[in-house]
Structure 1
Amino acid sequence: MTIAIGAYGRYSALRDWHLGDVERRDLRPADPTALSGVGRGMHEAAVRDGQGPLADGIAHLLGHAECPRCASVFHVAEEYTSANRPVM
């Protein structure tokens, strides 16, 4: 599974060698007014500096995705953090 946030869209999908990203599911962005901590600060800075696409990407990164295979819903940033945490 892949998560895309950028010029090609904001979605989760299964990546196929020949077909590209298939079975796409739109990401569910976080409500910017509900953000806190670093996420809120990053979003507010992007908005303040006129970086609308970046602010939108941050909202999607801090939102939720659906697995195209099993339909489970997960928090994008938390899953990425968990999957890339160093082994202790």
Structure 2
Amino acid sequence: MTIAIGDHGHYSAIRDWHLGDVDRRDLRPASADGLSRTGRWMHETALRDGQDALADGITYPFGQAECPRCASVFTIADEYASSNRPVM
């Protein structure tokens, strides 16, 4: 599964070598008011600097995605942090 956030959309999908991203599911962005700590700082900095598209994009990694295979919904940032946690 891949998470895409950018000019081509905001979605989760199965990445196929020949077909590209298939079975796309729209991401569910976090509300700007619901962002905490780093997300809020990043969003506020982008807005302050007139980077509205970036500010909008920042809400997606802190939002939710749906797995195209099993339809489970998860928080993108939490899953990323869990997958990239140092081995203890």
TM-score (norm 2): 0.96
Equivalent residue, structure 1, for 2:51: 51
How far apart, in 2, do the equivalents of 1:78 and 1:54 lie? 21
Q: CA deviation at 1:67?
A: 0.3
C-alpha root-mean-square deviation of aligned residues, in Å? 0.7
TM-score (norm 1): 0.96
Which whole-Å deviations, capped at 9, do the CAs of 1:8-45 have from their partners, x for residues lacking one?
Answer: 11000000010000000000000001112111111111
How far apart, in 2, do the equivalents of 1:47 and 1:25 lie? 27
Percent pairwise identity? 70
For structure 1, list consecutive stretches of 5 or more residues without a partner in the other structure: none
The amino acid across from 1:53 in the alignment is: A
Which whole-Å deviations, capped at 9, do the CAs of 1:48-83 have from their partners, x for residues lacking one?
Answer: 111112111110111000000000000011111111
For structure 2, list consecutive stretches of 5 or more residues without a partner in the other structure: none
Report the number of matched residues.
88
